[in-house]
Amino acid sequence: MSQTLQSVRGMNDILPDEAEFWEIFEETVRSWLKAYGYRPIRMPIVEPTPLFKRAIGEVTDIVEKEMYSFTDSLNGELLTLRPEGTAGCVRALIQHNLAAQHPRRLYYMGQMFRHERPQKGRYRQFHQVGVETFGFSGPDIDAELILMGARLWADLGLEGIQLQINSLGQPAERAEHRSALIAYFEQHLEKLDEDARRRLYTNPLRILDSKNPDLQALCAAAPKLIDYLGEESLAHFEGVQQILRDAGQPFTVNPRLVRGLDYYNLTVFEWVTDKLGAQGTVCAGGRYDGLVEQLGGKVTPACGFAMGIERLVALIRDSGGEPALAAPDVYLVHQGSAASRLAFRVAEGLRDQGINVLLHCGGGSFKSQMKKADACGAPFAIVIGDDEAATGEAQLKPLRAGAGEQRKLKVDDLAESIIGQLIDSETVGEQE
């Protein structure tokens, strides 16, 4: 007997109850983004491998260890399942000349792929909401993106998510800081782990992002990038902070916040929580002014962020924010050949009027069908037998308290009656 096939480790099925929860979350996110004037963009899941090597940086965990890359067997092209969305969004911006006429506010949702050890909130196939802006050079857009996050946490009913910010300055300033970091860590080579030694001369800034507890004291005492920032970088960072203060948004300046991707400059930020174990970051981003030019486009200021849907869904559920899943308005019960034919016409007619109908399929007695009608959560059942079908009528049976009395109606009168009673029950619920 052959072994039952399972999903790939770290790539999970999202089953109906959870998928409906996700849809509610996604609808909230789309409404939130629309309120700020952001427009959707959809990019391919598969991109050329060189795109990520050029954008993310070859000496990063993502490129070195985590990307799902392969060679196209038809043409030999190197391809990669996208590990993040910014690079693909910038590629689309350049390819379709989207930034030519005016600044852009864009967003996307979708799957990303990284080969790492699965744990709560971190999977090999995971989902992100990405928000990207192009053509805005001032600190105001950085602050807008940060404050957008604060509003979303309120919309989702989440508490305890803390904001950390930092500035990475400009490339020349980072180069000076880089030299100081190398000199500092060279004095403590015996304390560095294997990853830190490997990065020392290629990407020493990432050593500061190490999660190795044995390196924390050493990293805390390392030269701080903010001490190497020039007047313009400091002014930009102060501009962001001033807008946040004016908005009453608390924040912490974290000098070790460097982000895991090479393309960031100036403002970087993370929203973090202590309620998800080791995976405490729920949203992160910053400014990446040089990336469009780096990938072949014109000089274009850019800023954005990404948030993990799995982590936010887990946070919502852990905080008791489970929403009520949508139930149909009507469960349509029927028995007999003439009744079944009429039931299909009635169901379609009600749907034409905007009423959600779950039509019973699979046969069974009236009693068994009514059990399913009651279990589905619908406020009404419509019952049609051959006797009702012969007269063009149906029984409208309330299944919930306050939904009225059972009545026999002409099928043409069902929609008006149901809509009226649904409106009445909503009004009562609001008053209560």
Whole-number pLDDT of residue 431: 41
Residues 117 and 253 in one domain: yes
As for how many domains the chain has, the answer is 2
Whole-number pLDDT of residue 331: 94
Is residue 42 a part of any domain in this protein?
A: yes
CATH number for the domain that contains residue 70: 3.30.930.10
Is residue 131 a part of any domain in this protein?
A: yes
Domain residues for the domain of 110 are 16-169+229-318
Residues 311 and 341 in one domain: no
Is residue 174 a part of any domain in this protein?
A: no
Ordered alpha helix ranges (H), 156-190: 171-186
Residues 335 and 309 in one domain: no
Residues 292 and 351 in one domain: no
Query: Is the predicted pLDDT of residue 134 greater than 50, yes or no?
Result: yes
Q: What are the DSSP E strand ranges found in 151-231? A: 162-167
pLDDT band of 241, cuts 50, 70, 90: very high
Residues 83 and 161 in one domain: yes
Whole-number pLDDT of residue 336: 92
Averaged pLDDT for residues 339-352: 93
pLDDT tens per residue, range 85-113: 999 999 999 999 998 878 999 999 999 99
Report the C-alpha gap between 54 and 77 in whole angstroms: 16
Residues 141 and 23 in one domain: yes
Residues 394 and 263 in one domain: no
Provide the 8-state DSSP code for 214.
G
Averaged pLDDT for residues 418-426: 74
Is residue 224 a part of any domain in this protein?
A: no
Q: Please say which residue of 291, 318, 345 terminates a domain.
A: 318
pLDDT band of 175, cuts 50, 70, 90: confident
Residues 140 and 238 in one domain: yes
pLDDT tens per residue, range 198-230: 888 888 887 887 778 888 888 888 888 889 999
> Average pLDDT of the chain?
88
Residues 98 and 237 in one domain: yes
Q: Please say which residue of 292, 318, 344 terminates a domain.
A: 318
Could you tell me if 126 and 141 are in contact, meaning their C-beta atoms sit under 8 angstroms apart? no
Residues 155 and 265 in one domain: yes
Residue type, 300: T
Averaged pLDDT for residues 11-24: 88
Residues 148 and 288 in one domain: yes
pLDDT band of 59, cuts 50, 70, 90: low
CATH number for the domain that contains residue 363: 3.40.50.800
pLDDT tens per residue, range 381-398: 999 999 999 999 999 999
Query: Is the predicted pLDDT of residue 324 greater than 70, yes or no?
Result: no
Residues 278 and 413 in one domain: no
pLDDT band of 430, cuts 50, 70, 90: very low
| Sign of the four-CA dihedral 166, 258, 62, 54 | positive
